[in-house]
Amino acid sequence: VMTQSPDSLAVSLGERATINCKSSRSVLSSSNNRNYLAWYQQKPGQPPKALISWASTRESGVPDRFSGSGSGTDFTLTISSLQAEDVAVYYCQQYYGAPVTFGQGTRLEIK
Amino acid sequence: EVQLVASGGGLVQPGGSLRLSCASSGMTFSDYWMTWFRQAPGKRLEWVASIKQDGSKIDYVDSVKGRFTISRDNAKSSLYLQMNSLRPEDTAVYYCGSGAGWYVNLWGRGTLVTVSS
């Protein structure tokens, strides 16, 4: 089970936004020392967009204001300086194995 | 442009069947694991099924086992989801995605499936 906090968040433009994700079991593989944890951004009426894989690796084209951290069971997505286009719902996902599971989502808004 | 486009959704009665398709373009389809996800209105994303590049490994979420079948045709660069014995709780937007293993880095536009009498 993946649990995100908070469920919703309002941040001023240019300020930092932090979203947390906790897994009920470790997603760190002992064989390759990699965390099977991803972050996605979903805007209304659109499919999700992949932001980060392996807990901290940004996808190509994702602005560097997005960063991921954490290991094992606790992870964080940080947006260092919120832009208007970052308004969306953010999901964490573990892909350590089937069944792949998602957090409930965090709605990020402008304060 | 690399893209995935899902189609085949619609309104179906409980107990009915639908076949979803996902067409790819701009990518070497046979290089990627393919996955179906769904999202019920106002709900979190849910993984449905994944299939390895050559079809040799397939996984399903428990709630669809025995009712849904994922398949692919690499020659047609297409992914499919045969959905039988549909239930109201299967109502959702269905998305297809591609990636490495169970990680999906490209999502396609979804197709809406509504199961209702």
| Residue A97 pLDDT exceeds 90 | no
Q: Which of B39, B102, B111 best tests the A interface by mutation, with the highest count of A CBs <10 A?
A: B102
Report residue A49 CA to chain centroid gap: 11
| Residue A98 pLDDT exceeds 90 | no
**Alpha-carbon Rg of chain A, whole angstroms?**
13
CA distance A104 to A96: 18
User: Model confidence over B22-60: pLDDT tens digits?
Assistant: 999 999 999 999 999 999 998 999 999 999 999 999 999
User: Model confidence over A67-79: pLDDT tens digits?
Assistant: 999 999 999 999 9
Across the beta sheet with B18-25, the strand order is B3-7, B18-25, B78-83, B68-73
CA distance A4 to B10: 32
pLDDT of residue B32: 97
CA distance A98 to A61: 28
Q: Which of B22, B45, B62, B112 best tests the A interface by mutation, with the highest count of A CBs <10 A?
A: B45
- Three-class DSSP category at A86: helix
Q: How close B83 gets to chain A, by Cα (Å)?
A: 19
pLDDT of residue B26: 95
Burial annotation A97-109 (CB, 10 A radius, 16+ → b, else e):
ebebbbbbbbebe
Considering only CB atoms, A95 lies closest to which of B103, B106, B109, namely: B103
In this prediction, residue B101 has a pLDDT band, given cuts at 50, 70 and 90, of confident
